[in-house]
Amino acid sequence: MKDKVHDIQAWLGDLGPDLLILLKIVLIVLSAFVVERVLVSLLRSAYARSKAQGHDDVTRYRFLRNALRSVVGLVALGFVAYTIPSVRSLAVTLFAGAGILAALIGFSAQKAFSNIISGIFIVAFKPFRVGDQITVGLGTSGPGQPDRSGEVEDITLRHTVILTWENRRLVVPNAIISDEYIVNSTIRDPAICEYVEVPVAYEADLDRTMRIVRELCMAHPSRIDRRTADEMQHGVDELPVRLVRMGDSSLILRAYVWSTDPITARLMHYDLNKSIVERFRTEGISFPYPTRTIINPTNTSPTTASLS
């Protein structure tokens, strides 16, 4: 047995120090991979046994899984650095000047630690969870601007990944998203009241127009009745249509239409836009166009020009 061990040591010595270091690095990487797989498998089994299905449980699982992978990766990186003599000597030299090293690490890792702490706070206080539909910030998206709305796909130690409605991934550092206003459409109740606004001319028959808009909204299959039993008993309107604004050249009607979730509500809104336009054309109800009165100094009579 001793002879075999001696033969193996001799064989490794013949390979040379560089190849031996390479074998050690490969062994460390493979060990880290196996350990990471085992730990993630144990974590997944623990959540499966607890029958965790809600957004809170999925968020905790994803965050802990990402944390485990990061910790295992950092430990493996430390072992690899210790295995390489030149890197190990550099590390010893740096640690000899611990004060300077601490200052450098503190300065360079300030944002990284801020993101980690913010990620822990997000998981602990749950302003949003994996699977929630959110809008980040109060700004609106547009040409040249990123879409800030979507579904939370993942929460890591460093950042949050949001899958937008255009199937793009919006990656936001945790420290930044923690300081932003968050509109969470599904944190308590996914049902949403969609505002369907319709411009009509001042000359239009308001009662008839409002009746048509209400009829079309009531007929849509994605509409739901959100009235409570008490509201039904007191005769609260199931789908009110109101005149909400008087513009320069149009009156704005708004229908308050409830649907099951934000995506369904948005698709319902698009369907209703088409139905309202087609019905207005059939009923002879015209949409308003902006008009401006232009006064020519050489002509005393004003001229009205349509901007259509």
pLDDT at residue 108 in the model: 59
Place of tokens 């209400």: 214
pLDDT in the model for residue 139: 53
User: Quick one: pLDDT at residue 224?
Assistant: 92
pLDDT of residue 141: 53
Token pair for 78: 């430390």
Cβ burial 56-80 (10 Å sphere, 16+ → b, else e): eebbbbbbbbbbbbeebeeebeeeb
Phi and psi dihedrals of 231, rounded to 5?
Answer: -65, -40
CA-CA distance, 67 to 117, in Å (whole number)? 12
Taking only Cα atoms into account, the Rg of the chain, rounded to an integer number of angstroms, comes to 32
pLDDT for position 131: 87
Per-residue confidence (pLDDT) for residue 115, from 0 to 100: 86
Amino acid 132 reads D
Output the six-digit token pair for 255: 């229908």
Model pLDDT, residue 269: 94
One-letter identity of residue 156: T
Residues forming a β-bridge with 306 = 291
Give burial (CB, 10 Å; 0-12/13-18/19+) of 193.
exposed
Q: Residue 230's Cα: distance from chain center in Å? A: 36
Query: Mind listing the domains of the chain with CATH numbers?
Result: 2-108 (no CATH), 124-184 (2.30.30.60), 192-283 (3.30.70.100)
Low-confidence stretches of the chain (pLDDT < 50) are: 143-144, 308
Q: 14-67, pLDDT tens digit by residue?
A: 555 666 777 777 888 888 888 888 887 877 777 777 665 666 677 777 777 878
pLDDT computed for residue 277 by the predictor: 94
pLDDT the model gives residue 97 = 54
Instruction: For residue 131, count CB atoms less than 10 angstroms from its CB and return exposed for 0-12, middle for 13-18, buried for 19 or more.
Output: middle
Give the C-alpha distances (Å, rounded to integers) separating 67 from 60, 64, 113, 141.
Answer: 10, 5, 13, 32
